[in-house]
Amino acid sequence: MQFTQLEYFLAVAQELSFTRGAQSLHVVQSAVSAGIKQLEHDLGAELFIRQGRTIRLAPAGEALLPHAQAIIARTQSARDAVDAVRGVVRGTVELGTLSHLGTLDMAQVLLQIHREYPEVVIKLRQTVQGTRSSMAAVLDGSLDLALLSVNETTIPGVELHQIHAEPMLFVIPEAHRLRGRKRVSLEELANEQYIDFPVGWGNRTTVDAAFTSLGLQRSVRTEVSSLGFALELVQQGLGVAFLPASTVEQSSAEGIWSIPVPLQWKIQLARSTMRTATAAEQVLMETILEQAQAQKP
């Protein structure tokens, strides 16, 4: 069993594709396929179940995965220790991100990292399934860090750092019955037709939890994956929505009315506590937290 074979295995396991796994490592696919085939031979078990053009982890692959992640993490820690003696920070960080980051200026974060740590590579991964999937990716090691929309202050196995918080607004079209109101209770809003994000997205979870805590249910008529598009649909009269205040304030949309509600939208930086952060992860975390602090009034 060789280290490169474990790297090939982990890349393919994360991508569930030999092609994408090879691309992520900048290695030709034939080398990855040959390395995994030899690893399977050495272990005497198939690591992947191949079904036409799709693959998934076999039971042996699922058993190997956490051990391969631990070996690679320990190897990276050893490299970090040697680099630290030489005053060098290097490495690649997979950072899960969101479509809307509040006041956090991610461009400035990346520019600062590039300027101060030119050998650190940041790979941004925007979620397509929401905060829940990003959290799972942090826990299983496929993401090193992630920006999440969660309200919890503690989550088992996860270190959280709040970087942004802002009020949410109840946004309605101009012709709505509540236009002109400056405050509403959630009890008044249970029977509305909602535009919201899919289950598992952080802002949807926040709103659902608030209604559930009051013993209320609501109807989500349309699911979207963009705050701006949700606002546009409200403007067109398709329904109502709970949106971060900054989304409304930064928009030039007309024909809407927004009402404050007792809900907060938070962004937190997360990493797994199951392994030690690499030097590259540490400098990225510090830079994000510094930028977030600088944006606070």
Place of tokens 């474990």: 6
Cα 108 to the center of its chain, rounded Å: 19
Percent of the chain surpassing pLDDT 90:
52
Count Cβ atoms within 10 A of the Cβ of residue 149 and give its class: 0-12 exposed, 13-18 middle, 19 or more buried: buried
Single pTM value for the model: 0.74
Give span(s): CATH 1.10.10.10, the chain.
Answer: 1-72
CATH architecture label of 1-72: Orthogonal Bundle (1.10)
CA distance 259 to 95: 34
DSSP string, 163-211: EEEEEEEEEEETTSTTTT-S---GGGGTTSEEEEPPTTSHHHHHHHHHH
pLDDT value, residue 224 = 93
pLDDT value, residue 79 = 79
pLDDT value, residue 70 = 82
pLDDT value, residue 209 = 92
Q: What is the mean pLDDT of residues 219-236?
A: 92
Residue pLDDT, tens place only, 157-214: 999 999 999 999 999 999 999 999 999 999 999 999 999 999 888 889 999 999 999 9
CATH architecture label of 165-265: 3-Layer(aba) Sandwich (3.40)
pLDDT value, residue 112 = 95
Q: What is the mean pLDDT of residues 101-117?
A: 92
Least confident of 36-45, 56-65, 123-132, 251-260: 123-132
For residue 84, pLDDT over 80 is answered with no
For residue 287, pLDDT over 90 is answered with yes
Give span(s): CATH 3.40.190.290, the chain.
Answer: 165-265
Q: What is the mean pLDDT of residues 83-104?
A: 84
